[in-house]
């Protein structure tokens, strides 16, 4: 039994601030004592009462001028696209052809995949992200590389092999049969191994035949507990293309629904151009959406309608995605800053509480992991971030004028980035400490 104690201000969500008053949804400890045992939170108390009962032999780390929150959750990200962030001038379909499909071919080389996977996990941790739903490439070795690195850090990752059997370069194509067989072998190898979870990953409807989408749906039904992720209604040209490829379907989402790819643990990236019936389908089936504001702005795709998605009559689960590399930052703080602007252009003000909820507990709800991550609560896996309220001279000065927690959080959404992440803990272990000589340390493997 290993115990560790952390003292710092801390916050977590008990409910959804889109539907509850901030005071009901958010719990805040101005000075908390967090006790961790064997990788999970044992208790969270006010420091005064927690210190009074803390056994003398438990290591205590104190972070003044900080704020602890649950680890950030990235509901949509492509690790192979790290090498092409900031590719100039294209809309979605041209961007895929010109840049993405070129970069992804490099992942046939397992050594290249391992190198990028290693850098990717470090960027996530540097940004305070402790769980992500990750697209690999069509190559099974790209999935192995990602999960192998995640096992080293003991992070909870969701990932899968991209399936594509048409409308992509020959070198990136599988078939309905080989995509099914390779994905099945990867599920058997990785799903539920430690904290790793498998995600069946048809890239998007235009690059999969109906036979492949149906095979993906069959595979999902055969392996309860696995995930499905794909793209949905990102761009008008893409939507028109789907209409031509699947003329018998009533909408883009109906293509997936028809193939049995909607339901709990289905995550649809973007969903920018949605009809009421699409939101209703997501609500009815329990499917989740990943809002990727930096990507939608970068490619000029459009404005996600967060407040429509979250309508109280038929709420849809929504997580926040960076969508690297159409997205432009690994930081969920920067992503929230852009989510605020996207909502504002749509006539709504996204509060700081709503923002931080999306990045933590809301993301966990979207990924159906809200019984184990996304909150600071006894029994939960101890993945959390230490935010540095004095990370930069500007942040320190600005926050010295903040009147309350909501303002502090909103300024973090506006000015914060990876510099504001002082430490990232995975299952109770400080695997990333910004100011440590060796910033990244693999935890001791658990026996």
Q: Min. distance of Cβ 434 from Zn ion in angstroms?
A: 28
Shortest Cβ 76–Zn ion spacing (Å) = 6
**Residue 158 phi, psi (nearest 5):** -115, 125
The minimum distance between CB 225 and Zn ion, in angstroms, equals 23
Comparing C-alpha atoms, which of 437, 439, 431 is closest to residue 152? 431
Helix (DSSP H) and strand (DSSP E) numbers for the chain: 18, 17
Binding part of the chain for Zn ion, among 7-15, 179-187, 265-273, 382-390 by CB under 5 A, reads 265-273
Candidates 16-24, 183-191, 222-230, 261-269: pick the segment binding Zn ion (CB under 5 A): 261-269
At which residue do the structure tokens 């404005």 appear? 303
Query: Is residue 345 packed enough to be buried (19+ CB in 10 Å), middle (13-18) or exposed (0-12)?
Result: exposed
Stretch that binds Zn ion, among 160-168, 186-194, 269-277, 299-307 (CB under 5 A): 269-277
- DSSP assignment letter at 96: I
- To Zn ion, the closest distance from the beta carbon of 419 in angstroms equals 26
Closer by beta carbon to Zn ion, 47 or else 289 = 289
Selected range binding Zn ion among 109-117, 267-275, 306-314, 358-366, rule: CB under 5 A: 267-275
- Minimum distance of Zn ion from residue 135's CB (angstroms): 6
Please give the full DSSP string across 371-389, using - where no structure is assigned: TTSSS--TTSB--EEEEET
Q: Segment contacting Zn ion (CB under 5 A): 196-204, 268-276, 307-315, 388-396?
A: 268-276
- Report the distance separating Cα 283 and Cα 275, nearest Å: 13
Judged by beta carbon, residue 198 or residue 204, the one nearer Zn ion is: 204
d(CA 60, CA 330): 30
Distance CA 324, CA 159 (A): 14
**Among candidates 215, 205, 229, 210, which has minimal Cα distance to 184?**
215
Residue 293 beta carbon to Zn ion: minimum distance, rounded to whole angstroms: 13
Is 74 an interacting residue with respect to Zn ion (CB under 5 A)? no
* Nearer of residues 117 and 299 to Zn ion, judged by Cβ: 299
**x-or-dash string of contact with Zn ion, 315-354, rule CB under 5 A:** --------x-------------------------------
Buried b (16+ CB within 10 A) or exposed e, 51-73: eeebeeeeeeeebeebbbbbbbb
Instruction: Closer to Zn ion by CB, 70 or 269: give it.
Output: 269
* Residue 160 vs 269, nearer CB to Zn ion: 269
Least distance in Å: CB of 393 to Zn ion? 35
Is residue 80 within 8 Å of residue 115, measured between CB atoms?
A: no
Q: Are 323 and 295 in contact (CB under 8 A)?
A: yes
Smallest distance from the beta carbon of 78 to Zn ion, in angstroms?
5
Residues lying near Zn ion in the complex (CB under 5 A):
269, 323
């Amino acid at each position: 039994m290993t115990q560790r104690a952390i003292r710092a201000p801390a916050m977590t969500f008990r409910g959804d601030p889109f539907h509850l008053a901030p005071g009901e949804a958010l719990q805040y400890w101005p000075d908390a004592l967090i006790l961790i045992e064997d990788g999970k939170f044992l208790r969270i108390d006010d420091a005064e009462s927690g210190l009074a009962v803390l056994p003398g032999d438990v290591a205590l780390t104190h972070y003044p001028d900080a704020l602890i929150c649950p680890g950030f959750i990235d509901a949509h990200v492509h690790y192979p696209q790290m090498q092409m962030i900031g590719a100039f001038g294209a809309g979605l379909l041209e961007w895929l052809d010109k840049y993405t499909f070129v970069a992804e071919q490099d992942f046939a080389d397992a050594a290249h995949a391992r190198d990028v996977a290693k850098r990717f996990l470090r960027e996530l941790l540097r940004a305070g992200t402790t769980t992500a739903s990750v697209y690999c490439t069509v190559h099974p070795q790209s999935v192995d590389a990602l999960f192998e690195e995640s096992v080293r850090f003991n992070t909870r990752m969701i990932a899968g092999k991209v399936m594509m059997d048409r409308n992509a370069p020959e070198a990136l194509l599988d078939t309905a049969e080989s995509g099914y067989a390779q994905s099945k072998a990867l599920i058997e190898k990785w799903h539920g191994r430690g904290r790793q979870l498998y995600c069946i990953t048809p890239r998007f409807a235009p690059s999969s035949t109906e036979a492949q989408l149906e095979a993906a749906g069959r595979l999902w039904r055969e392996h309860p507990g696995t995930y499905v992720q794909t793209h949905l209604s990102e761009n008008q040209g893409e939507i028109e293309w789907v209409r031509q490829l699947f003329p018998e379907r009533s909408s883009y989402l109906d293509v997936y629904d028809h193939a049995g790819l909607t339901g709990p643990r289905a995550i649809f990236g973007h969903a920018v151009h949605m009809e009421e019936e699409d939101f209703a389908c997501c609500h009815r089936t329990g499917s989740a959406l990943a809002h990727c504001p930096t990507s939608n702005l970068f490619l000029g795709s459009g404005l996600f309608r967060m407040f429509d998605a979250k309508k109280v009559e038929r709420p849809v689960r929504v997580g926040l995605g960076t969508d690297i590399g159409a997205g432009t930052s690994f930081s969920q703080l920067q992503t929230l800053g852009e989510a605020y602007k996207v909502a504002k252009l749509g006539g709504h003000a996204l509060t700081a509480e709503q923002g931080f909820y999306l990045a933590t507990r809301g993301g966990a709800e979207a990924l159906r992991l809200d019984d184990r991550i996304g909150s600071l609560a006894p029994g939960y896996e101890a993945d959390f971030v230490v935010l540095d309220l004095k990370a930069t001279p500007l942040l320190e000065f600005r926050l010295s004028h903040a009147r309350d927690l909501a303002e502090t959080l909103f300024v973090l959404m506006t000015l914060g980035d990876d510099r504001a992440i002082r430490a990232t803990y995975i299952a109770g272990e400080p695997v990333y400490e910004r100011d440590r000589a060796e910033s990244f340390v693999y935890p001791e493997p658990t026996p």
